[in-house]
Amino acid sequence: SFELTQPPSVSVSPGQAASITCSGDDLDNKYVCWYQQKPGQSPVLVIYQDVKRPSGIPERFSGSNSGNTATLTISGTQAMDEADYYCQAWDGSTVVFGGGTKLTVL
Amino acid sequence: QVQLVESGGGVVQPGRSLRLSCAVSGITLSGFAMHWVRQAPGKGLEWVAVISYDGTNKQYAESVKGRFSISRDNSKNMVQLQMDSLSAEDTAVYYCARGVDRNYYGMNVWGQGTRVIVSS
């Protein structure tokens, strides 16, 4: 079955760029989206169809997808960006989520 | 303002059934895929099921196939999840989520979730 793999945790200093990866077989042939989830809150879509930002999502959030790896990049990371991030793709018959990455801003 | 409100969660004994509902306000359901996603305590997101914008196509995670059934009523702006033969592994917060469009490439509106606890 199709799987998406994310690093469990990523740390970044405020103001620096954070990159979170998501790996899966032939991933660039699928659309990837990313969600942000803060403790006690519902997930929020931050990137869809690899690179698109929903309205209301800051420009510092960007996405890319090449080969077997999709990447969420947060430029100029702020303390408010500390959260769990999940990648997600559709494999043709099911929706698949990555295991999630805890982003720590310190 | 688009709002999704889940209901129907609670404590249920193993082997019993529960029916979750998702009421949508602020926008029509028509034209959008609808999903159920769950999150076990302290765990990540797990997709459960999706129903196509017109209700003709339904897909399920392997973990719930044959036990859960998703349905929608566009005239009532509602989506439901019938859950049968529940087990402890089904304990989670269940979220209703609207697709970005009629495709299955993302979910851009989420409810607040309803908690399901399967316990004797």
Nearest to A43 among B45, B61, B103 (CB): B45
> Are β-strands A83-90 and B58-60 bridged in parallel, bridged antiparallel, or unpaired?
unpaired
Flag whether pLDDT at B111 surpasses 90. Answer: yes
CB atoms A100 and B45 under 8 Å = yes
Give the β-pairing of B107-110 and A69-74: unpaired
Please state the rounded mean pLDDT for residues A31-36.
98
Average pLDDT taken over every residue of chain A: 97
- Please judge whether B108 and A96 are an interchain contact, meaning their C-beta atoms are less than 8 angstroms apart: no
B8, pLDDT greater than 90: yes
B111: chain A residues, CB-CB within 8 Å: 42
Give the integer Cα–Cα distance in Å for B9 and B102: 27
Q: Nearest 5°: phi and psi at B29?
A: -75, -25
Per-residue pLDDT tens for A13-31?
999 999 999 999 999 999 9
pLDDT tens, position by position, B63-103: 999 999 999 998 899 999 999 999 999 999 999 999 998 88
Contact B100 A45 (CB under 8 A): yes
Annotate A51-94 with DSSP letters as a single string. TB--TTS-TTEEEEEETTEEEEEESS--GGG-EEEEEEEE-SSS
